[in-house]
Amino acid sequence: MLETALDARVSPETLRKIESGRVATPAFPTIAAIADVLGLSLDAVWAEINQPEPGVEPISAGRGARQRLAA
């Protein structure tokens, strides 16, 4: 973890806080730097954090959903 933090130019404490969830919304440049050090694309990171939770049906963007949102 120390090497990853230093390579990303992020303090090890900041990385620990991000990993433990104590930083709910880390800055985009911080995430981009960490992803780069880990060899992850930002698309892969985005896809991972936007996976639906098991047992939770995702909101459909279909016609019915648009009608409910407009109401």
Domains of the chain, each with CATH number or no CATH: 2-51 (1.10.260.40)
DSSP 8-class letter at 57: P
Residue 30's identity, in one-letter code, is: T
Residue 4 pLDDT: 94
pTM of the model as a whole: 0.66
Q: Which DSSP symbol is given to 60? A: P
Each residue's pLDDT expressed in tens, for the chain with a length of 71 residues: 899 999 999 999 999 999 999 998 999 999 999 999 999 999 998 998 888 777 767 665 555 555 555 55
Residue 55 to residues 47, 51, 58, 60, 61, Cα–Cα distance (Å):
18, 12, 9, 15, 19
Residue 38 CA from chain centroid, whole number: 14
Residue 51 confidence (pLDDT): 82
Establish how many alpha carbons lie within 13 A of residue 53's alpha carbon, considering only the half-sphere containing its beta carbon. 1
